[in-house]
Amino acid sequence: MIGVYIMAKLSAKERMLNTLKKQDGYNTFTTAQAQRRFGISNVSARIDELRQEGHCIYTNTRTTGDGRKVRYSRLGTPTKAMVQAALRAGYSFTA
């Protein structure tokens, strides 16, 4: 068959991770943006699942020009101190 492609539909969690992994453009999102963009209501649960899978996702807070505080998520690299703290807490980084 020529020109037949099967496109698998990505889950909201996979689309979130793909957005966070982007090297150019916007690779962060707020809770409201994630709800609209990925069609999920409980964004923190999906972020927690990604963290459980070993992805280092930070949630930061910034203040907008009108004084509102907005939380946004981004993918990062853990510091040495964070890895040591996780190991002391009993987390394992092996599959």
For the chain, give every domain's residue range: 12-88
pTM: 0.72
pLDDT given for residue 2 in this prediction: 57
User: Average pLDDT for residues 37-65, to the nearest whole number?
Assistant: 91
Q: What is the tens place of the pLDDT at every residue in 52-76?
A: 888 889 999 999 999 999 999 999 8
Question: Around 84, how many Cα atoms within 13 Å sit in the side-chain half-sphere?
Answer: 3
* C-alpha–C-alpha distance, residues 41 and 70, integer Å: 17
pLDDT of 21 > 90? The answer is: yes
User: Average pLDDT for residues 11-36, to the nearest whole number?
Assistant: 91
Strands 69-75 and 29-30, bridge-based pairing: antiparallel
Three-class DSSP labels, the chain = CCCCCCCCCCCHHHHHHHHHHCCCCCCCEEHHHHHHHHCCCCHHHHHHHHHHCCCCEEEEEEECCCCCEEEEEEECCCCHHHHHHHHHCCCCCCC
- What average pLDDT is seen over the chain? 86
pLDDT of 7 > 70? The answer is: no
CATH class for the domain made up of 12-88: mainly alpha
pLDDT of 38 > 80? The answer is: yes
pLDDT given for residue 67 in this prediction: 95
Strands 57-63 and 69-75, bridge-based pairing: antiparallel
